[in-house]
Amino acid sequence: MTLLTKLFHFVIITCKNHNIDESHGLSHSMNVLNYAHEIYNSEIKNKPFLEQHQRVIYTAAILHDMCDKKYMDEMEGITEINKYLQEDMTPIELDITKKIITTMSYSKVKRDGFPELGEFQDAYHIVREADLLTAYDFDRCMIYNMHRKNGNIMDAYNEATELFCNRVLRHNDDKLFLTEYSKQLSQVLHYDALSRMNTWKNIVRMQLL
């Protein structure tokens, strides 16, 4: 079993064991990995040392929500990740991976700022920015809220709209993107999100059903 397969296998198992809904499940891990891959490819041209950190970047991108406090005790999740990967990664790789996924969330960055990870600082930002880029998916935000609200579409829409207005649509104003790739793509995703929000506003206000 390749490491990539093993990582996604862990995501599937963890989602089942901890009732992680689709907003933070397998498809989200795949999307964050894809963004991390694109940012990595854009950055490595000027930072060739990142090739040595690729395993950490990809592993953290895939597993970043597998210890999310919304679904489990964070330290228990970290313990499960450590046990699962201890034979596949070096102690340094595993330690940095755990540090990235426990410090990269929006709330922790706003509260504590960026951690100091030395030579792995760029790896940290690649994973963090990849996750932020997926946050522009308004449907994903609604999906999370619909699971919390037992399918109430109006409540899900209202809460998603509030989060986007107070957080997601402010990512650039808050200077959360450092790489050129993310700065440019986030502008496109910003306007795509506004369009999607407007579409949902029209749907939920039709009150046809």
Count: domains in the chain: 2
Asked if 147 and 93 sit in the same domain, the reply is no
CA dist 1 and 167 (Å) reads 39
Q: What is the pLDDT of residues 131-160, one digit of tens each?
A: 999 999 999 999 999 998 888 999 999 999
Q: What is the pLDDT of residues 19-64, one digit of tens each?
A: 999 999 999 999 999 999 999 999 999 999 999 999 999 999 999 9
Q: Cβ neighbours of residue 125 under 8 Å, at least 6 residues apart? A: 114, 178, 179
The letter for the amino acid at 198 is N
Asked if 109 and 142 sit in the same domain, the reply is no
Asked if 19 and 105 sit in the same domain, the reply is yes
Percent of the chain with pLDDT over 90: 94
Query: Residue 142 sits in which domain range?
Result: 135-209
